[in-house]
Structure 1
Amino acid sequence: MKMIIGLGNPGKQYEKTRHNVGFQAIDELAERLNAPVMQTKFNGAYTIIHRPEGKVMLVKPLTYMNLSGECVGPLMDYFDVELEDIVVLYDDLDLAPGKLRLRQKGSAGGHNGMKSLIAHLGSDSFNRIRIGIGRPQGGMKVSDYVLSTFGKEEQPLIDEMVEKSASACITWLDSPFLEVMNNYNGA
């Protein structure tokens, strides 16, 4: 089974915020893959899709960003999913809106959701897709910025990156992640 995890915060007030692009990518994937309705267990919402390549689980941790590992770790244990069989989608301040970066491992880079995942999984060697949201301007606090919505000029770039990240995940279902990286990095 392959597991695709989108990081975000639960609740209507966070739906369109910068911090929730991972959830948006999961929603895009669910639509494209005709996923069954998500069920809630293990502090998260998830669904399992049966495909010719095998089973695919889409996951949205409902623990709030900083505790994402509390959902993902137990889910991986219960369904016996290996580290090389996951991809994590999340927002990245160090990338401009409209930029994607795919990696097979790395530090949390200051992202609290990734810190939680690394702590609960005991490794930083797992596939990830970073979706650029840019840095705050004019002295805005990072915590306020990531919980803000995108500006009118940014939204088309974000929509495109959500679509591209979903396409990268679909490509990964039957291709090595290294190949997916080569095709989508810099997109």
Structure 2
Amino acid sequence: MVIDRLKDKYGLIARTSRIQAELAEGAIAGRMVMVAKPQAYMNRSGDPVGDIIRMYGLQCEDVVVIHDDIDLAYERLKIKEKGGDGGHNGLRSLADALGTAAFVRVRMGVGRPDAGIGVVDYVLGEFDADQRLTLERFLSQAVEAAEVILCQGAKEAMNRFNRKP
């Protein structure tokens, strides 16, 4: 959702590729970027990202990952420069594919599921009515966080977005 908003806001141009990901590139605040939405299963999402890094000669420190996080309350953003996977299969796959966990993350809090609802069903399910009321604002904050990371660096983004509400 955040990647789609970045593509629309900056008119990023879709790129065709053999990689199992939707790619688009263009400029954000004068900086050339490529955005990617892996089209693999979450627990294999690192494979296309690794392919992109190798194919385009990028470095792991060029990677910014935007992901859901059940350990953060809904609507809470947290920026990290590196870290463990926290049980997130997508992050584990990325770290395995890249050989390092030293990549910037925009953690988007989705909260924990209610009792009796499995984590997979919860994170792949629809937003509830209360969440839908604030979803646009939350996504806009995540877009802004990505912009700050790209233009001013992860530390500035952490200073700005890691404050408790």
TM-score range, shorter chain: over 0.9
RMSD: 1.5
Unpaired runs of at least 5, structure 2: none
Whether contact under 8 Å (1:69, 1:117) holds in the other structure is yes
Asked if 1 retains the 8 angstrom alpha-carbon contact of 2:31 and 2:151, the reply is no
Aligned mate of 2:65, from 88, 92, 96: 88
Shift of 1:103: 0.3
| 1:180 Cα offset (Å) | 1.3
Which residue of 65, 84, 103 corresponds with 1:107? Answer: 84
CA distance in 2, matches of 1:113, 1:83: 16
Q: Which runs of 5+ in 1 are unaligned?
A: 1-23
Please report how far the alpha carbon of residue 177 of structure 1 lies from its aligned counterpart in structure 2 after TM superposition.
1.1
Q: Which residue of 2 aligns with 1:127?
A: 104
SS of residue paired to 2:129? coil
Cα distance, 1:145–1:30 mapped onto 2, change above 3 Å? same
2:84 is paired with a residue whose SS is: coil
TM-score, with normalisation over the residues of structure 1? 0.82
| Number of residue-to-residue matches in the alignment | 164
C-alpha separation between the residues in 1 aligned to 2:80 and 2:10?
A: 23
Aligned to 2:154: 177
| Greater relative contact order (Cα < 8 A, sep 6+) | 1
Matched, 1:61 2:16: no
Instruction: Using the TM superposition, give the Cα deviation of residue 59 of structure 1 relative to its aligned residue in structure 2, in angstroms.
Output: 0.3
1:40-64 deviation line (CA, Å, top 9, x unaligned)? 4311110111356331001000112
Corresponding residue for residue 149 of structure 1 = 126
**Are 2:26 and 1:49 equivalent residues in the alignment?**
yes
Please list the CA deviations of residues 118-162 of structure 1 after superposition, one character each: whole Å capped at 9, or x if unmatched: 000011111000101111112211121112111010123332221
**Structure 1 pair 51/134, CA: closer, same or farther in 2 (3 Å)?**
closer
Q: Distance in 2 between matches of 1:183 and 1:39?
A: 35
Give the partner amino acid of 2:39.
Answer: L
1:37 matched to 2:14? The reply is yes
More helix by share: 2
With normalisation by structure 2, the TM-score equals: 0.92
